[in-house]
Each structure stands twice: as structure tokens, then as C-alpha cells.
Structure 1
Amino acid sequence: MTFGTELEILLASVVAGVLGSMLGLGAGVFFVPILSVFFGVPLKAAVAASAISVIVNSTGGTAVYLKNRMTNVRLALVMELTTTLGAIGGGVIVILISTNVLRLVLGLSLLGMGAALFFRRGEAPPITEGPDPLRLRQTYTDPVKNVDVTYIPTRTGAGLGAASLAGVISGMLGIGGGAVKVPIMNSLMRVPLKATIGTSMYMVGIT
């Protein structure tokens, strides 16, 4: 690999990291296709490299969201119970399947994630009152509107089940699972988008 190619990968990594942090998806959702398609890196090697980059990207991005209290740490840890199990399963699966099958799974997953984000309905108002058996209620200050936003995540059972799917995808594709977790928390569990992104960034590094 030439110095010029290494520099191009570095620049692509910066772009992937910025987008991953902004959207809460993790850099891997951009990094894996870039390495595989544009730089000819074998897909399984790209997945492994992406898994490492996701950890670094998550650590850097999470610090900012934690400072602004946009990360619901308790929600993240609860969801990681099923997400981590799924990630372990996904890691085992990627060893057993062929590169062509993995490429198909990656393509379908990215297509599905893109469609889910593109066709997402307008954000429903968060739940602020009601039962909260897992004590997931959180308040953060929106820096743009300068108002406090309080929410209680809902449908936690369904969210935990869907998080296991995010874990499988993360383990198989090295993309952190954020592209699945963001719609789960925002649309299904009615967590405000900024809190969703902050919590997702915290989770993708663990996964």
C-alpha cells in the first residue's frame, strides 16, 4: 500500500468518523463500504478493521454527548444486555459464512438502514409521565432551543428484542449497529433524537 493510498484512507476515515458521530451510527457503517469498494480491502479484513475504528470513534464522540447529558447511560447498559449477545453470535456467523454471503448481507443491511432513516416519520413527542420500572427517565438541556427535555423510554421489551438484531449486524459487519439502534430508540421507544444519538454513540463502542 502506497503512502498516497494510506493518506486517502486516513481522509476517508475522518469523514466517516464525523458522519458517524453526528448521526450516532458509528464510523463503521461508512468505513466498511469505503475500504471494500474503493480500496479493494478484502471484506472480512475491512470488517475487522472497522470494528476497531468504531471503538475509537465511539470513545471520542461519547465524551461530547456525556458532557451535555445527552447520553442515557442506564438505557444504554440495559440495551447492551441483548445487543452484546447478538454481537457475539454475529462474530461467530461471520467466520462460518462465505465472503459473497457476507457481501450480500452488508448490501441488504445498508439498503434497509438507509430506507429506515429516509422514510422515518416525524418525531413523536416523548413520554414524560407514567410507569418507569427500569428507572430510565432522563432529562437533558437542548443547547439549540435552550430548554430542558424530559423523556421516559417506552416499549423497552420490544426495544431489547430489536437490539439483539442490531448486535448480530454489528458482529457480522463491524459497523457498530448504530444504524439499527437509532431508529429503534427514536421511533419505537420514543427517545428524543439527540438523546438517541448520544446513547447510540455510547453503545456502539461497547458492542
Structure 2
Amino acid sequence: EYVSETERKKRRSKLIYHDGGSLTAGWTETKIDEGDLARIGYAEPNFIQRECDVLGFFRNYTGHLLVSRSTDRGQNWSALMDSGIPDSTARFATGNLPGGQRYLIGNSLHKKFDRRALLISISDDQGASFDRCFILRDEPAVKKFLGQHKMDGWQYPHGYVWKNLLLVVHSVNKEDVAISAVKLKDLQTVKRISVIDE
């Protein structure tokens, strides 16, 4: 997703894809039927690549992530649809776990801008459904300083698999950066997971 200064003033972003060659060229803009534009600000998508297609998940103002599908490596996309995955209008991350599972880390809560808990959802079917959800962080987090667009909570996550751990880098109140580590084997359970203290 690319946002130029002109589009930023209009609150629109562009979805672009790459042909796989040199990164200095080959970028092409593509379109998605967004439907009602009032429901979307900066969608800031994340993607799950599967064997035959790519799923794009988009944040928005509806209370659920929107989803679109491309069967031609990002050149064309289906109209945005409700994924059923709760979203508090917050940044989120997607990724792959060893063994082919997909994960989605974010503030999967129903209240807009509610970032009091950071959760991870696991999919065993390449992102078609996320049937397990675990709390990564939900301890009270209160900002120390006032600032523009700052909210209490755990936010802006990204995940990285390292050895037998999933490392989740995230913001705390938009003031601190923290790493929460989870044992990969714990994500295979149906019980509450434990985060390893930094």
C-alpha cells in the first residue's frame, strides 16, 4: 500500500503490486472495489499468500476486518467483504508458522480504538478461518505522556519466528517498544498461552 502526499489529504491510499523482478521498477497500481468509502480510512492491509491465491485483510471502521482475494498474484482483487474477524480499527500483522499455519496478531476487539488487549488468532487452513485465539497481552497499560493520536494499550504488532519462539514486537501506549515471546508449541493448544517475560 502506498500513500502519496496528495492522496493523504484525500484520505485515500493505493494498492500496488510488484512483478517479482528488480525492485527499482515493475510496480503497478491495482484496484479493489471498496464499496462505501466512508467505512475505510487508511486500510493498511496485510496479506496471506496461499498455494493458489492471496488473501488481503484491510482495517476499516466497520468493527471487522475486510477481506479481498486475488488469484493472479495481486493484479486483480475481489470486492471487499466482511471477514467476520473483529477489529478495533487498529494495525495488525499476518504471518506463517512452521507447519503451514497462518497467524493474525492485532486488537481483535469489537470497540473502536480499543487496544487494551493484543491477541493472536491461528488458522490451520491457510487463512480461510481463524478458529483459535489467544491473549498475548492484556495487563493494564496507561500512557505516561500526552500526545497526538496516542491511546493506552498494546498496539502496532509484528511477528517473527525465531528458533522455537514467535517473537511479537509491539508498541506499548505509543511510548515504548516491547517484545513478547511465545513458545510455538503453546500455539498448538486450546488453553491460555503464557508470554515469556522479556
Shorter-normalised TM range: under 0.3
More strand by share: 2
TM-score, normalisation: structure 1: 0.22
TM-score, normalisation: structure 2: 0.22
Q: Pick 1 or 2: higher relative contact order, CA cutoff 8 A, min separation 6.
A: 1
